[in-house]
Amino acid sequence: MKLSKIFIFGCILLSSVLTKAQQLPQFTQYMYNTISVNPAYAGSRETLNATVLHRNQWAGLEGNPRTNTFSVHSPLRDERIGLGLSYINDRLGYESTNYIYGDFSYSVLLNSEVKMSFGLKAGLTNYTLSNPDINDPFFNSNFNSWKPNFGAGIFVGSNRWYAGFSSPRILNTDVNNGEFKAIERNSYYAIGGLVFDMSETLKFKPTIISKFTNGAPASFDVTANFLFNDKFWIGASYRFNDASNFGAMMDYQVSKDIRVGYAYDIPTSTIKPYTGGTHEIILIYELIKKKKGPIKSPRYF
């Protein structure tokens, strides 16, 4: 077995011992992928939104974590109701976890500027372990199981600030029928952000997300972004936990409907000498319709 394989196996083994849980992947560009953790976000963009994200974590290591996500959500004719669908594929070595979930939200106006939404998420988690090397002394078994789960969340805010709290997976689920430790445990997320005008052409947006999972270390991501001319975002982030890292990101509004973004993370933990960092690419499509009457306030979240 190559050194990189041994290292990856050690990471998997250590993660299993410390957390005893299959955790949802984390994203540097979480502020553009909120529906993956909070169903109350469905429809909040006030139009059809489709988002694709690819994350290549710890690039250069064989069997490194790789995550692909796709989500689509939109309000209905009754704008108080939002519907969404999200898919996440998360790979680590011989392991692969797929999350397929539907989202429902219901919103109420607290005043002319602030809206509160309540959301439900339900679907299936698929866990597979497949090792093509039958002579591998560490992993020589294959698993494929599907388990249902559900979640809930609340999201409140205006066009200038937002806050949310959610648990996207409420059930504690044994995804491989007790064969070995791979428990999908409930996690709790708190998220928030603000936008400040610094000048006519420059805005500042700080955001934060925290994650709490029973049996695993808590994590906190703090991000600061600057927006130039309502078209170009640039910023930096830092994650506080046992696998802390520093990140930088850029986001550009290519057209009125399409936005693209890129983020790069550098780990500050013991894994730093073994990897070239983490790359994350995001593509967002929003259907911008011409509406009669006054134009609604821009959506920064």
Residue 75 lies in a domain: yes
Number of domains forming the structure of the chain: 1
DSSP E strand stretches across 93-160 = 95-109, 115-129, 143-157
- Residue-wise pLDDT tens digits, 175-233: 666 555 666 778 899 999 999 999 999 999 999 999 998 777 888 999 999 999 999 99
The reply to whether 294 falls in a domain is: no
Structural domain that includes position 174: 3-286
Start-end of H helices in the chain: 3-19
Please check whether residue 76 is in contact with residue 89, taking contact to mean a CB–CB distance below 8 angstroms. no
In a domain, 95, yes or no: yes
Dihedral sign of CA atoms 121, 265, 157, 81 in order: negative
Determine the average pLDDT of the residues in 137-148: 74
Confidence of residue 4 (pLDDT cuts 50, 70, 90): very low
- Sequence letter at residue 17: V
Q: Is the model's pLDDT at 145 over the cut of 50?
A: yes
Task: Decide if 193 is inside a domain.
Answer: yes
Specify the DSSP class assigned to residue 40: G
Is the per-residue pLDDT at 16 higher than 50?
no
Q: Which residues 6+ apart lie within 8 Å of 96 measured at CB?
A: 89, 90, 127, 128, 129, 130
Is there a domain that residue 292 lies in? Answer: no
- Residue 15 belongs to some domain of the structure: yes
Average pLDDT score over the chain: 85
DSSP character for 100?
E
Half-sphere exposure at residue 199, Cβ-oriented, CA atoms within 13 angstroms: 6
Structure tokens at 143: 């698993």
The model's pLDDT over 65-92, given as tens digits with 9 standing for 90+, comes to 999 999 999 999 888 999 999 999 999 8
> Does 170 fall in a domain?
yes
The answer to whether residue 156 sits within a structural domain is yes
The fraction of the chain above a pLDDT of 70, given in percent, is 82
* CATH value at residue 169: 2.40.160.40
d(CA 182, CA 188): 18
Residues in the chain: 301
